[in-house]
Every structure is written in structure tokens, then in C-alpha cells.
């Protein structure tokens, strides 16, 4: 098939070039092999029938989604264009800031199947904290701070840890809770949960005792133990458990930064500030929801701007907003777009009125683009902080100026040529924490080695899909 794929004029598509030869080759093959041979997936993909299936799918998308999009988007188009979309006023390349500042970023990685021993799954987590100095007075913009000084403040970097639980003995919740308690630096669960309540109720609930007499009163006993903060027990699959631990590990690293002497102006995290709420109890369904709000409160106290950046943003019509920005500001322009909620002047947008978590609870999302070559990304800010520092009631112009100042700095930290348009501290944190295939392979070997050292039997430990060579 590889040989066949090289024939034909280049003006035709690959399949168009290959098909005539393929069809005749297949005829010969069938005749030679008889009629009962199995077809491979590749053979199916190269058929006209598959092309027809695709045509139907794309037509469907066009009819159902894209046409509907035009109608829905039209409702918000003018407001987005006039009020919400703005161009970033960038710093010149040789800017000397009045005051240089530090930017911290945290990212995490890992695997939910470092090793599988019978029914026990061992997870591997890695987290990395990076702190950069804007350093505009030298040629080394956004230079990393001294590594040993950083590690003295926040511990060894990158950080790795392990978690285990059995997927079949109903211990997922218990083991998850144990790990979360170990990982997160704030051990008092009451102190952990209160920031959410303070923010969510606008200060009405300020202490544990204030829970009594409110809709949360009956849940108060559950709010004292980590295990009982884990509501989504039914869906504690390995990926879910892994996701929760990874997030907690990242949040733990952020807490260490916020509690340290580093004093960054910004702390960036990967992901959104969405807090998934229990449908009935109206508080976060998983401990990381509480952790995030704890961080937001701590950041505000320490005058740190906490931002969550996500490439995979699930904002509907982001492509249309980007197109509008290009038309309004020009092809290479850098821009941002506020995505208001129902409580903001003018209310929320129609394009996401049926989405529960856009905008996320207690967060303010923006869509932004600092690079013409990439699709727009999303950045979330703590709403309480935003209301105190960006939003000026009844003064949209002043609000806009605050937004521009904020995005000017965010754009300035997003010009590294390796990841142009994406905040460099986050990119470096990601590079630092990611585990390559080879890293994982070595980690698995070390698992075996350690087991041998400890005198345990050498059982198969690869993920189950590796069995039977499948």
C-alpha cells in the first residue's frame, strides 16, 4: 500500500491517486485468496463508501449546526463587536517596565496506570512550578529565578508522587481522600471549605457555625472530612480519580507559592476556573472545587492575580468571535473578548445561555488571541478579584482600561518564540512536568526493580491493554 500511495499526479488527492491501482490490486488479491478473507481498516478507509459517509456527516453539520450558529450568533454579534471585543495595546519589544515583576505558573501531568498489580492501579503524578522575572532591564526577558532559591521556597521541582487504589474493592473514595489530605497543604478541612462559602454567599457565611440555619446546615457534618467532600463516588473511575489528584497536586503547588516569600504578581494555572457543583447541595462536588476557592481567597489576600488559561476552552462560537476580531482589527491583531454572565451589565450572551458552567461559577472568562497562527484560548479570573480590581460600576470605559492594562501584561508574557501567543511561564511549567513515553517506560522498569529489591514477586504490571500484545 505504501508503494501504491506514491503514484499519481500530485494535483489529485491521495486516495484519488491510489484508488485505481488499489481497486485492481484488491480484485487480484480477492481472486487469489478466495472470498472469505478479512479486510483491514486501511482498506475500508480508502473506499468510496467511506468518503460518502463523511460527506453525509459534513452536510449534517452544515445543516444542523452551522446554519443554526448563524442565527444564534446574530443575536450577540453587535454587542460582542461593540462592547466586549477589544484590541490589546501591546508593550513595545524594548519596554522598560517601571517595576519588573514575577510570574509563577504551575502545571501537572502523570498517568493513571503507572503499574497495574492485579486489581490495584498505581498512579504517577508530576507537578512543576516555574517562576520567571520580567527582567526588562536586561536582555534576558522572562528569565527563570534561581532554581535553588525557588526550591527552598516551594520544594523540589518538578515534584513527583504516587497514588494507588483498587478499582474493584470500593476503596476509591477512601484512598482518594487519603491522597488529597496528604497532598494539599491545608489540613484543616473547615478552613478549606470556608472560602467557597464566603465567596458564594457574599460573606453571609463566614465561619463554620454560620452554616447552621442555612440551606447548608444539614450538610455541615459532611464538610469536616475530606472523604465526605467527595460526592461523585459513582463516577470515581480511574481517569476521574487521576484528574482529581492531579488538580489537587497543582493547587497544592500554587498554595505553596502563595504562602512563600516569592510574591509573584501573577500565578497562572492550566485549565479553567470551573467549579462543578453538587446538583442538590449547591456546593462543590469534589474537594478540588473547595481548594480552588481557597486559592482565590489567598491570592486576593496576597495581592496576587490568579489566572487559569485553557486552550481547550469549550466556548461556543469562539471561531466566529475570532473572525470578527480579524475583520475589525486586522489579520495580525491581538485581542480579547469578555464573556459576561447574567449579573454583568447587559447580562450574559445568548450563545451560551444553555451552558451551566459558562461562565463558570465565581469566575470571569475571557477569550483571547495573541497569535495569528493559533486558535483563540480562554483565560478565567476570580470573579471577586475581578469585581474589586477590574470592573468599575457604571463606568465601562474605566473597566475597559483596566482590562487593557491586564491583557497588556498577559500578552507581554506570551511572546516566547517557541510558544508565541501562549504565556511562557505556563509553557515552561508544562515542558518541565510532562512525562514522555520513555520516562514512563523507565518509571515502570524502576517499579519492577523496587519490587524485586523488596522481595515481592514479579508480576505483570503493564496496563491491561498490553496483554495479548493488543
Partner 1 sequence: MTTRSPSHFGLTMICEENGMPIDQDKLGEIYGRVGMGNQTQLGIMGSNRDISVGEIFMIYSHRDGHERVFFFRVLGLENYLRQVDDMSRIASTLMVEGDAYLSGIERNMLLSVGGRMLGYAEKDGDKWVFRSPRRLPDHLASVYRPVPGTSDAFVREMLQEQTDGDIFVGDLQVGEATLDVPVKIPAKFLPMHVGIFGSTGSGKSNLMMVLIKSIIDTNLAALRRPNDDLTRVSAFCIDPHDEFAKGVDRYGIQHVIEAMSKETRSDVIGDFYYLTTHKGATPREIRRYARDIRILWSEIQPRDLYSIMEFSPQMSSFIDAQYASEGEKWISSILAMDEDPEGAPKGTLRAVKRRLRFLERSPIYVESNPAPILGDIFVAMETGRILVVNTSLMSDREQFLLTTIVTRTLSDMRRALKSSGNLGDFEKQATMRLPKSFFKRVKAKALAFYGKGGTAEDTPVQDPRDLPVIQITVEEAPSILNPELMRGQSVFKDISRQGRKFNIGLLVVSQQVSVLDNVILSQMNTEINLRLGNEREIRSCIDNASVNISGFENEFRVMSRGEAIVTASYRELPLPVRIPLFDTVFERDKHTYKNDGKRKAEKYTL
Q: Where are the alpha helices (DSSP H) in 330-394?
A: 383-389
| 416 contacts partner 1 (rule: CB under 8 A) | yes
Cell numbers for 25: 490490486
**Residue 140 Cβ, how far from partner 1 at the closest point, in Å?**
7
Q: Contacting partner 1 (CB under 8 A), which of 420, 440, 451, 463?
A: 420
Count CB neighbours of 23 within 10 A: 13
How many residues does this entry show for the chain? 470
In the complex, minimum distance from the CB of residue 367 to partner 1, in angstroms, rounded to a whole number:
21
Residue 90: CB minimum distance to partner 1, A: 7
Q: Which of 424, 426, 435, 443 binds partner 1 (CB under 8 A)?
A: 424
Of residues 185 through 214, those in contact with partner 1 by CB under 8 A are none
Place of cell 522572562: 142
Between 142 and 391, name the residue whose CB sits nearer to partner 1: 142
Q: What is the nearest approach in angstroms of partner 1 to the Cβ of residue 129? A: 14
Binding mask 369-408 for partner 1 (x = CB under 8 A): --x-------------------------------------
The three grid cell numbers given for residue 270, joined into one nine-digit string = 492550566
Does position 415 interact with partner 1 (CB under 8 A)? The reply is yes
Q: At its nearest, how many Å lie between partner 1 and the CB of residue 258?
A: 22
When the beta carbons of 27 and 143 are compared against partner 1, the nearer one is 143
Number of residues that bind partner 1 (CB under 8 A): 18
262 scored as a contact of partner 1 (CB under 8 A): no
Q: 110 to each of 68, 119, 168, 451, how far by Cα in Å?
A: 40, 20, 22, 21
Q: Which residues pair with 310 in a beta bridge?
A: 378
The DSSP letter of residue 82 is I
Q: Minimum CB separation from partner 1 for residue 438, in Å? A: 14
Whether residue 414 is preceded by a cis peptide bond, meaning omega within 30 degrees of 0, is no
Of all helices (H) and strands (E), which one includes residue 321?
helix 318-329
Nine cell digits for residue 239: 481517569
* Binding window for partner 1 (CB under 8 A); candidates: 46-54, 136-144, 233-241, 320-328: 136-144
Residue 132 binds to partner 1 (criterion: CB under 8 A): yes
Q: Which is nearer to partner 1, 234 or 436 (CB)?
A: 436
Nearer to partner 1, 83 or 153 (CB): 153
Q: Choose one: 35-43, 311-319, 415-423, 444-452; the region binding partner 1 (CB under 8 A).
A: 415-423
Distance of alpha carbon 311 from alpha carbon 331, whole angstroms: 20
Using CB under 8 A as the binding rule, whether residue 167 contacts partner 1 is answered as: no
Element (H, E) at 305: strand 305-310
Name the phi and psi angles at 291, rounded to 5. Answer: -60, -40
Residue among 214 and 374 whose Cβ is closer to partner 1: 374
Give least dist CB 431 to partner 1, A. Answer: 5
Q: Which of 27, 63, 64, 140 binds partner 1 (CB under 8 A)?
A: 140
Burial of 44 (0-12, 13-18, 19+ CB in 10 A): exposed
Distance CA 368, CA 406 (A): 12
For the chain, the first-to-last Cα distance in angstroms comes to 23
Q: Is 428 in the site for partner 1 (CB under 8 A)?
A: yes
Is there a contact between 291 and 306 (Cβ–Cβ < 8 Å)? no
Shortest CB 310 distance to partner 1, Å: 21
- Which letter, b or e, does each residue of 291-315 get, where b requires 16 or more Cβ atoms within 10 Å of its Cβ? bbbbbbbbbbebebbbbbbbeebeb
Q: Which of these, 269, 214, 236, lies nearest to 382 by C-alpha position?
A: 269
How far apart CA 271 and CA 326 sit, in angstroms, is 25
The count of other CB atoms within 10 Å of the CB of residue 421 is 19
Can you tell me which of 73, 142, 336, 386 binds partner 1, judged by CB under 8 A?
Answer: 142
Single out the residue of 15, 47, 87, 90 in contact with partner 1 (rule: CB under 8 A): 90
Give the Cα separation of 143 and 140 in Å (integer).
6
C-beta of 91 vs 219, nearer to partner 1:
91
Comparison of 132 and 193: residue with beta carbon closer to partner 1: 132
313 binds partner 1 (CB under 8 A): no
Choose one: 30-38, 138-146, 255-263, 398-406; the region binding partner 1 (CB under 8 A). 138-146
DSSP H or E run through 446: helix 437-454
Taking CB under 8 A as the rule, does residue 309 contact partner 1? no
Does residue 155 touch partner 1 according to CB under 8 A? Answer: no
Site residues for partner 1 per CB under 8 A: 90, 92-93, 132, 140-144, 371, 415-418, 420, 424, 428, 431
Amino acid at each position: 500500500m505504501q508503494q501504491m500511495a506514491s503514484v499519481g499526479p500530485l494535483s489529485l488527492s491521495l486516495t484519488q491517486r491510489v484508488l485505481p491501482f488499489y481497486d485492481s490490486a484488491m480484485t487480484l488479491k480477492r481472486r487469489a485468496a478466495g472470498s472469505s478473507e478479512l479486510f483491514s481498516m486501511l482498506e475500508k478507509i480508502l473506499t468510496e463508501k467511506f468518503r460518502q459517509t463523511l460527506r453525509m456527516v459534513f452536510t449534517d453539520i452544515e445543516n444542523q449546526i452551522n446554519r443554526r450558529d448563524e442565527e444564534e450568533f446574530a443575536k450577540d454579534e453587535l454587542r460582542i463587536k461593540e462592547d466586549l471585543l477589544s484590541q490589546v495595546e501591546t508593550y513595545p519589544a524594548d519596554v522598560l517596565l517601571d517595576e519588573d515583576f514575577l510570574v509563577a505558573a504551575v502545571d501537572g501531568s502523570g498517568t493513571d496506570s503507572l503499574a497495574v498489580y492485579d486489581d490495584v492501579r498505581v498512579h504517577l503524578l508530576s507537578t512543576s512550578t516555574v517562576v520567571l522575572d520580567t527582567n526588562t532591564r536586561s536582555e534576558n526577558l522572562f528569565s527563570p529565578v534561581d532554581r535553588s532559591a525557588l526550591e527552598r521556597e516551594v520544594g523540589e521541582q518538578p515534584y513527583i508522587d504516587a497514588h494507588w487504589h483498587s478499582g474493584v474493592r470500593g476503596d476509591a473514595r477512601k484512598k482518594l481522600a487519603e491522597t488529597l489530605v496528604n497532598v494539599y497543604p491545608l489540613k484543616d478541612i473547615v478552613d478549606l471549605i470556608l472560602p467557597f462559602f464566603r465567596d458564594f454567599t457574599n460573606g453571609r457565611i463566614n465561619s463554620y457555625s454560620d452554616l447552621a440555619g442555612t440551606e447548608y446546615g444539614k450538610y455541615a457534618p459532611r464538610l469536616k472530612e475530606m472523604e465526605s467532600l467527595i460526592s461523585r463516588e459513582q463516577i470515581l473511575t480511574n481517569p476521574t480519580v487521576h484528574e482529581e489528584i492531579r488538580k489537587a497536586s497543582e493547587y497544592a503547588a500554587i498554595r505553596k507559592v502563595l504562602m512563600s516569600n516569592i510574591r509573584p504578581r501573577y500565578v497562572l494555572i492550566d485549565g479553567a476556573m470551573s467549579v462543578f457543583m453538587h446538583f442538590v447541595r449547591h456546593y462543590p462536588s469534589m474537594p478540588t472545587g473547595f481548594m480552588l476557592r481557597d486559592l482565590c481567597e489567598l491570592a486576593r489576600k496576597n495581592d496576587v492575580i490568579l489566572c487559569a488559561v485553557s486552550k481547550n476552552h469549550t466556548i461556543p462560537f469562539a471561531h466566529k468571535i475570532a473572525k470578527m476580531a480579524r475583520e475589525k482589527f486586522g489579520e495580525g491583531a491581538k485581542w480579547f473578548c469578555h464573556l459576561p454572565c447574567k449579573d454583568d451589565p447587559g447580562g450574559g450572551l445568548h450563545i451560551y445561555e444553555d451552558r451551566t458552567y459558562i461562565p463558570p461559577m465565581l469566575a470571569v472568562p475571557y477569550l483571547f488571541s495573541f497569535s495569528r497562527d493559533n486558535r483563540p484560548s480562554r483565560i478565567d479570573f476570580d470573579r471577586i478579584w475581578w469585581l474589586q480590581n477590574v470592573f468599575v460600576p457604571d463606568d465601562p470605559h474605566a473597566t475597559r482600561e483596566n482590562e487593557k492594562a491586564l491583557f497588556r501584561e498577559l500578552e507581554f508574557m506570551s511572546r516566547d518564540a517557541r510558544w508565541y501567543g501562549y504565556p511562557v511561564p505556563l509553557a515552561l511549567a508544562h515542558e518541565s512536568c510532562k512525562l514522555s513515553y520513555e520516562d514512563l517506560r523507565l518509571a515502570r522498569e524502576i517499579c519492577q526493580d523496587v519490587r524485586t529489591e523488596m522481595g515481592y514477586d514479579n508480576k505483570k504490571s503493564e496496563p491491561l491493554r498490553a496483554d495479548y500484545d493488543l
